[in-house]
Structure 1
Amino acid sequence: MHFDPWSSNDGRDDDPVNLVSRPVCEDRDSREILMLTDDRQKLKDYIDDLSARGNTSIDLGMKWGTALLDPAMRPVVNKMIGHGEVPSRFSLRPFAYDDLETLKVVVLMTDGQNTSQYYIEDDHRSGESDVYWNEQTEEYSIWNKRNGDGNDGLFYWVNNNLWRDHPKGNGHWDCGKEGLRGYPNDLDGDGIENEYFCYEVPNQDDNENGTAVNLSYPELWAYTSIRYNTEKNYYPWMNDSEARSQWRYGVYDTVGSGTKDNRTKAICDAAKTEQIVVYTIGFEAPSGGVSVLKDCASSPSHFFDVDGLEISNAFKSIAQQITQLRLTQ
């Protein structure tokens, strides 16, 4: 998902249609995978245009490198050929593992070590959130389900620090009973929803303009950082620790480096089982990354620990070894 667990600023701060500025997964061209090609210049230009920032996921690099050699990827390749995204000469790729004319090689390089991976928890990945956004006035309203603070079933108008029976911009709901809203509810606790008919009457506030839209969770996180949502939309009316627990640390979780090290090992082992030759390069990598790379390589001689310009020699050596292997086969 497109989300930001760190920033205290909101994507809407600069422009109401801006996505969050520091997402875990960036949708930038400079971070995309380049699928199969034998165009040397295109490959070099693509590498020159790559940008690196954020956390390190050696497991994901190895996963994609191995997947692009797996015959199970062939339907995907053919579909991309049909879309003009991969040259037609790759229609039989990836070749079978037992193809005697084929040598499969992965070169895995890192300058780091596996770090934490962030993800949105299942109960906040889909469906409607409690947050409403009025694009015309650029304001949030928050529905308080059942907080037990006397404002259950009401909407908090963030910019006004007021409680109302509707999100700002959606007029007034007349339900015949105070506190009830115009869609499924069971605020009196008898287990029956929709027992009151509600209808909308004109706006009751002179300064109430625009229309508030209920945001789905993917929409909310794409435009509103998790920290901003917690601090600006919930802190003003919730207990701070409760707000943090529910709307910050209760929204996302992490996968630690140890788990990612084990994932990397599993992928490397699976690749080597299929006779894929695995070279690894640690470019000024810390000890944690070096350990993972050593374990992943096909043999100790397939691992290179390099600094500075030594990396050029490592790639030359790998190229020579691959050429020799091809000649031998």
Structure 2
Amino acid sequence: MFFLKDERGGILPFTISVLGVIILAGALAVNTVRVEHRRSVSQSILDICVLNSAAQRQTLPPREALDDCLVKHGFEAEITAFEATTGRTKSVTASAETSLESFFLRETQTYDIGVASSAAEALTNLEIVLALDVSASLLTAGGGSALPFADLKAAAKQFVATMLAEDTQGRVQITLLPYSSHVNLGADLAAVFNVSNAPQNMMVNGAQVGPDVTQKRCVDVPASGFGQTAISRTTALQAVPFVDTLGSTSQSTSYVAPTNATFAVAQLQNTVCSFFRLAPSPSTSNVVRLPDFTAAGQQGTVDTVAERIAALQARIDGLQATGETSINLGMRWALAFLDPSMRPVFGDFASQGRMPEMSANFPTDFGNATGVKVVVLMSDGTNRTEARMPDNLARGPSPFWIGNDGNMSWFNAARSGASKYWVPHNATWQAMPWQNATNSGAAARQMDYEEVWRRMKVSYVAWHFHARSVSQATGSANNAARAAAYSAAMNTYLPSANSITDSTKDTQLTQACNAARLQGIYVYSLLFQTATTSSPTLASCATAPSMSYNATPADLQAAFAAIALHISMLQLNE
């Protein structure tokens, strides 16, 4: 059987059918793309505007801020639901709907498009301790004509202005902590700790002896306390005595009176507890300042951001450079003021009108998700060995006597013979303490060591009582004898065996830095490069290598600005 081959047929109907399917699929694809584009654009705009209205820095009411933003972005949908909350956590939730008609379809269809967005921003508490080295080496000019100390002040002032610039709600708390040989707490802050033997103003026969020391409050931190953050308010802390160990004297054979303001009189700025007598009186220069701390009844002077910045900058301007370097103590006290155990202290000061009410909530607990704790630790060099006077030579009966005419004598028990009292003003030895030229009137009075050091520098005592008593004659042999006597006296009053060495301070600094890491405290270290030796221990104290900065006087402000920017990023990320 045969079949005929016939290639004629109806391909056209098939082609038309396929073409129709293609056109329909294309129309559906176009409409799908259009719907997705509208949805994507609407979602993006709504996300942007919800974030904007939820921002803590947004000054407009949330709904007003949202509507204003949507109009500016040409938002084509209609808000169907809105909810906002304000407070420490500000949140905004919004929903919107829009529609889109189809293209290319025989019967027009309407696509309903819905979008929703929500955002929240919590206020992050930022607690900063700005620990600034104010040792005397900052008074040594570097390569330029300006002193490094002036550069430090300018950079620190810019830093606090940056950090406080938009803090209208008091969530940024900055403690200013200057340090050199020690950290001076000042009278108000020292009063909250159990401090013993704090220097007091001394009165003799109704007259004050020596300077006003009411703000001079440095204390010794127990060696065992550097591995923790809190400093107990009940444990006894020994106050550092008032002794002018840093001042110099005139080493001549001629008599210099103990009232000589340049070479004899003990000066506030020459003690290891850094302090200066500047206006207003009593001075708080070089004293720790808690956040927005003021005198009683003066909180109204730090109400605005501008006033808070100005008050803190004024304190920075008032800092004075003196003493040696104890980075370990600067870091140790910085941790104490970030520890939650200080919250009752902040609360008490707030209730007394010395700090803002907001400050009563600080320091926050460690690990609190709403807070970031930061130490900015700045120094221009290494820890320095510090000479310390033994307690028995700082307090208690002394071998020094004062006559009723104000002249003094010194009892030298080691001298042979009956004449054991050296009288500097007439360069003689005698058997009794000097009373006056006629040995009449009130008897000579034995001074306590506290009175001796309140009146005179250690160097003056060592030279004009010890060295000059050996000989007043000239010549190399006599000069050598006086020099040996002076050195022996200085080593007696400030023995090397009683010193706190730089290596001990480095160990204590390392312990304090490790304690900061354990509690999640961020540490920025800033080495201010001058002529002094750099400190590897300071660099290693930083939380991360990227948080350790080296800066010359010329770029110190840039370093502080970089730290401020990094802290702001931490605040956002937290």
Normalised by the size of structure 1, how large is the TM-score?
0.76
- Distance in 2 (CA, whole Å) between partners of 1:103 and 1:211 is 64
* Equivalence for 1:24: 272
Q: Aligned residues: percent identity?
A: 26
Gaps of 5+ in 2: 1-240, 251-256, 277-283, 293-304, 471-480
* Equivalence for 1:138: 406
* Equivalence for 1:33: 288
Q: Do residues 71 (structure 1) and 340 (structure 2) align? A: yes
Offset, 1:90: 1.8
* Equivalence for 1:310: 555
Offset, 1:103: 0.8
Offset, 1:258: 2.1
Offset, 1:35: 1.6
Q: Do residues 297 (structure 1) and 542 (structure 2) align? A: yes
Offset, 1:260: 1.8
Query: SS where residue 266 of structure 2 aligns?
Result: coil
Map 1:249-268 to 2 at 5 A. Answer: 249-253=491-495, 254-268=499-513
* Equivalence for 1:217: 449
Count of residues in correspondence between the two structures: 291
- Distance in 1 (CA, whole Å) between partners of 2:455 and 2:402 is 11
Root-mean-square deviation (CA), in Å?
Answer: 3.1
Offset, 1:69: 0.5
Query: SS where residue 30 of structure 1 aligns?
Result: coil
Verify the 8 A CA contact 2:386 2:501 in the aligned structure 1.
yes
- Distance in 2 (CA, whole Å) between partners of 1:104 and 1:51 is 27
* Equivalence for 2:193: none
Offset, 1:127: 0.7
Verify the 8 A CA contact 2:265 2:455 in the aligned structure 1.
yes
Residues 294-320 of structure 1 show CA distances to partners (whole Å, capped at 9, x for unaligned) of: 210001011111223422222222222
Greater mean alpha carbon deviation, residues 280-289 or residues 293-302: 280-289
Offset, 1:75: 4.2
- Distance in 2 (CA, whole Å) between partners of 1:211 and 1:15 is 29
Assess, with a 3 A threshold, how the Cα gap between structure 1 residues 207 and 81 changes in structure 2: closer, same or farther: farther
Offset, 1:244: 4.2
- Distance in 1 (CA, whole Å) between partners of 2:352 and 2:461 is 39
* Equivalence for 2:523: 278
Assess, with a 3 A threshold, how the Cα gap between structure 1 residues 132 and 20 changes in structure 2: closer, same or farther: farther
Assess, with a 3 A threshold, how the Cα gap between structure 1 residues 148 and 164 changes in structure 2: closer, same or farther: closer
Residues 173-225 of structure 1 show CA distances to partners (whole Å, capped at 9, x for unaligned) of: xxxxxxxxxxxxxxxxxxxxxxxxxxxxxxxx626566533222122122211
Verify the 8 A CA contact 2:264 2:456 in the aligned structure 1.
no
Of the three residues 181, 184, 206, the one matched with 2:438 is 206
Assess, with a 3 A threshold, how the Cα gap between structure 1 residues 315 and 140 changes in structure 2: closer, same or farther: same
- Distance in 2 (CA, whole Å) between partners of 1:292 and 1:122 is 30
Moved over 6 A (4+): none
Q: Do residues 128 (structure 1) and 397 (structure 2) align? A: yes
Residues 69-94 of structure 1 show CA distances to partners (whole Å, capped at 9, x for unaligned) of: 01233344345446654334322322
Larger radius of gyration: 2
Verify the 8 A CA contact 1:128 1:217 in the aligned structure 2.
yes
* Equivalence for 2:421: 155
Verify the 8 A CA contact 1:7 1:227 in the aligned structure 2.
yes
Aligned partner of 2:573: which letter? T
- Distance in 2 (CA, whole Å) between partners of 1:321 and 1:15 is 47
Query: SS where residue 387 of structure 2 aligns?
Result: strand
* Equivalence for 1:107: 376
- Distance in 1 (CA, whole Å) between partners of 2:243 and 2:423 is 24
Assess, with a 3 A threshold, how the Cα gap between structure 1 residues 285 and 60 changes in structure 2: closer, same or farther: farther
- Distance in 1 (CA, whole Å) between partners of 2:350 and 2:455 is 34
| Greater relative contact order, per chain length (Cα 8 Å cut-off, separation 6+) | 1
* Equivalence for 1:164: 431
* Equivalence for 1:8: 249
* Equivalence for 2:300: none
- Distance in 2 (CA, whole Å) between partners of 1:165 and 1:312 is 62
- Distance in 1 (CA, whole Å) between partners of 2:352 and 2:451 is 28
* Equivalence for 1:230: 462
Offset, 1:46: 1.6
